[in-house]
A and B are shown apart, each in its own frame.
Chain A
């Protein structure tokens, strides 16, 4: 048999974002021997663009890096600016930041699980996931006026507040959807068809996960706990209680389960944040001049650790701004996950790292 190379892409692999897979099959022609990925189709040079905008304008630019983690980018960026300026935020703002982030996480995880169901051709399950997500999308629209880019954060606090009606509607959405999430968990824990289909697919061992420095649900599905919310608490996370969802098999099923269990934890966090939120201002009253300095900040985005480095020189624009997104670390792990799996599972395994090309090619 001749050595046929399988080429997938550059479009329509899992999320209709452009990436190019060069797959070399084993001699059976059905399984993967090795995989190489070519990217860079949508690289936008945003790290250079932010140097030409002032600190407030960059709030908008960072929010545009990617739609699903669009809350974490300005959030982490604000944390870096606030560190340099030495600002301490009003307590209420810290809790409101947690609320925005956790609602985003739930919606993001549900979207990924919906895509997983789509890729295994389970249309009913996909519909259920996306319908559940829709409730959270509606919630975002009600609170922030937008279903994707919330524009929740600003330097020195947040741009929104919650009144009793909104708090009640968040709680109602959580109460309505918690049983649904529990039913999904039961399905992923016990349904034999589902377990056979995605269990043992795309395995990443604990050792490989550590070696490659993967982050987020990909790391936690392999038993590596590097949840930034626990390891280096920020905003109000140090005051709130939650458990880190860990699995040990490191396959597509484990990554799905980590996301499902994390949704429950996010719900727990939301209830606590809403109940214990102090009263007061949501943003600092004055705009601060950003002095010369540098800072690193990080948060736990739905896909994993997001890191920002900011260097300022006393002007209104950054001297250097650099960030590293979760997918950036998880991508290389695909080269370990994919070999000896079926070629038809490429998209499934790819989707299981919750890839974000838009973030990676910032």
Chain B
């Protein structure tokens, strides 16, 4: 475990990335500001048998903050990347484990994942527009109160027919 700490520190300082461990010492946090840095770092991590656990996105300062959570032998490396143009290179060609989480990013936040090998929708139907999480829907419209209204009139109409 300790040698991994040293190795990670080496890599991050070579790439001139500042990093710090959190209080429990089991996760390492760092921020990068260039997308090519992400690809560079991903290539190195891939040779270290890292695994992509998750990628989180959220809105921040008129852009998006992405957090890539890599597992390295029990240590979680969290890499933050700030983007303003809603696009990011895919790391799925390097990490198959990033496949789903990248596709989900694009369907929920509308972030374009460049060069993703399988850029299909994951959960949402193609007819639903992208970046739905950024909008608020009331429950009645999400569950479509209109539909039950229509259904009810249909039932009433059919009852009318049956009763002749």
Contact A305 B53 (CB under 8 A): yes
State whether the Cβ of B156 lies closer than 8 Å to any Cβ in chain A.
Answer: no
Name the A residues within 8 Å of B67 (CB-CB). Answer: 309
Q: How far is the CA of A27 from the CA of B17 in the complex (A)?
A: 54
Q: How far is the CA of A212 from the CA of B96 in the complex (A)?
A: 5
With A48-B133, A309-B67 given, is the CB distance from A213 to B97 under 8 Å? Answer: yes
Contact B100 A295 (CB under 8 A): no
Contact A332 B56 (CB under 8 A): no
Name the A residues within 8 Å of B24 (CB-CB). Answer: 83
Contact A298 B51 (CB under 8 A): no
Q: Which of chain B's residues 44-63 have a Cβ closer than 8 Å to chain A? A: 49, 51-54, 56, 58
Residue of B nearest to A311 (CB): B58
Among B35-43, B70-78, B83-91, B146-154, the stretch in contact with A: B70-78
Q: How far is the CA of A320 from the CA of B65 in the complex (A)?
A: 11
Contact B124 A322 (CB under 8 A): no
Of B53, B78, B124, the residue contacting A324 (CB under 8 A) is: B53
Could you tell me the distance in whole angstroms from the C-beta of A218 to the nearest C-beta in chain B? Answer: 13
State whether the Cβ of A307 lies closer than 8 Å to any Cβ in chain B.
Answer: yes
Q: How far is the CA of A86 from the CA of B22 in the complex (A)?
A: 11
Q: How far is the CA of A361 from the CA of B58 in the complex (A)?
A: 19
Number of cross-chain contacts by CB at 8 Å? 71
Contact mask for chain A residues 200-225; partner B; CB cutoff 8 A; 1 contact, 0 none: 00000000001111000000000000
State whether the Cβ of A319 lies closer than 8 Å to any Cβ in chain B.
Answer: yes
Q: How far is the CA of A324 from the CA of B71 in the complex (A)?
A: 13
How many chain B residues have a CB neighbour from A under 8 Å?
32
Q: How far is the CA of A232 from the CA of B76 in the complex (A)?
A: 9
State whether the Cβ of A261 lies closer than 8 Å to any Cβ in chain B.
Answer: no
Contact B51 A322 (CB under 8 A): no
Contact A324 B95 (CB under 8 A): no
Contact B52 A213 (CB under 8 A): yes
State whether the Cβ of B6 lies closer than 8 Å to any Cβ in chain A.
Answer: no
State whether the Cβ of A67 lies closer than 8 Å to any Cβ in chain B.
Answer: no
Contact B133 A332 (CB under 8 A): no
State whether the Cβ of B26 lies closer than 8 Å to any Cβ in chain A.
Answer: yes
Residue of A nearest to B104 (CB): A328
Contact mask for chain A residues 166-189; partner B; CB cutoff 8 A; 1 contact, 0 none: 000000000000000000000000
Contact B74 A83 (CB under 8 A): no
Could you tell me the distance in whole angstroms from the C-beta of B7 to the nearest C-beta in chain A? Answer: 17
State whether the Cβ of B161 lies closer than 8 Å to any Cβ in chain A.
Answer: no
Contact B71 A226 (CB under 8 A): yes
Contact B96 A361 (CB under 8 A): no
With A212-B96, A324-B53, A324-B101 given, is the CB distance from A39 to B69 under 8 Å? Answer: no
Contact A232 B26 (CB under 8 A): yes
Contact A295 B54 (CB under 8 A): no
State whether the Cβ of A43 lies closer than 8 Å to any Cβ in chain B.
Answer: yes
Name the B residues within 8 Å of A86 (CB-CB). Answer: 23
Could you tell me the distance in whole angstroms from the C-beta of B91 to the nearest C-beta in chain A? Answer: 12
State whether the Cβ of A40 lies closer than 8 Å to any Cβ in chain B.
Answer: yes
State whether the Cβ of A296 lies closer than 8 Å to any Cβ in chain B.
Answer: yes
Q: How far is the CA of A104 from the CA of B123 in the complex (A)?
A: 28
State whether the Cβ of A231 lies closer than 8 Å to any Cβ in chain B.
Answer: yes
**CB pairs A–B below 8 angstroms (25 shown):** A39-B122, A39-B123, A40-B124, A43-B123, A47-B133, A83-B24, A213-B52, A213-B53, A213-B96, A213-B97, A231-B73, A231-B74, A295-B22, A296-B69, A305-B53, A307-B53, A307-B54, A309-B69, A319-B58, A320-B56, A322-B54, A328-B100, A329-B97, A329-B100, A331-B100
16 other contacts beyond A43-B124, A45-B133, A305-B53, with CB at 8 A cut-off?
Answer: A40-B122, A43-B123, A48-B133, A83-B24, A213-B51, A213-B95, A226-B51, A231-B73, A232-B74, A296-B69, A307-B53, A309-B69, A331-B100, A332-B96, A332-B100, A361-B123
Query: Can you list the 5 inter-chain pairs with the closest CB atoms, starting with the nearest?
Result: A213-B97, A231-B74, A40-B123, A320-B58, A324-B54
